[in-house]
Amino acid sequence: MENLKSFLWEIVKTVILAVIIVLPIRFFLFQPFLVQGISMEPNLQQNDYLIVDEISKRFKDFQRGDLVIFKSFEGKKLVKRIVGLPGEKVEISGGEVKINGQVLDESAYLAKGTVTKGEMSVTLGPDEYFVLGDNRAHSSDSRLFGPIKKKNIIGKVALKIPFSKLKFYFKFLYE
């Protein structure tokens, strides 16, 4: 009987310790996010699992090209790529994105021949970012809802786990 009590007490201590360690990490440092939709293809696929870094935004500014999760004007959480930084003038015309009059080189993350539709020009405020989806033809982004405020950015994508591909691998293994 004494061994059972000791065993149960060890389990309770382990669970309490796990909660004390895991909950602060989950709520203050990192958060999971599941990609829904095709707006970030081909770089992010439907059902890719992302780990979002919530802490680094307190210590350094976001950079052009960063993938961020933010709360949209509808309260939804979205993932998009930062293309315009605070204080910059962002122009979209002729299928190209220009930053302060210079064509933005997006070859590192966009498919060759990608065209950015729309005609607009906006100068970003001191705490505003311009975000676009990588699948420009099928993305609701700053072209639709305007710049996003820094306070609405939850964090930067730190890690991508392609469950969409893992699902395929598991299916292949068990058929």
Q: Is 39 a catalytic residue?
A: yes
Reduced to 3 states (helix: H, G, I; strand: E, B; else coil), residue 35 is coil
Out of 56, 57, 60, 80, which one is annotated catalytic?
Answer: 80
Out of 5, 13, 39, 117, which one is annotated catalytic?
Answer: 39
**Six-digit token pair at 40?**
């970030």
**Six-digit token pair at 52?**
């979002």
Q: Is 60 a catalytic residue?
A: no
- The torsion angles phi and psi of 38, rounded to 5 degrees, stand at -115, 10
- The torsion angles phi and psi of 55, rounded to 5 degrees, stand at -90, -40
Task: Identify whether the C-beta of residue 153 lies closer than 8 Å to the C-beta of residue 62.
Answer: yes
CA distance 114 to 50: 24
Which residues are known catalytic residues? 39, 80
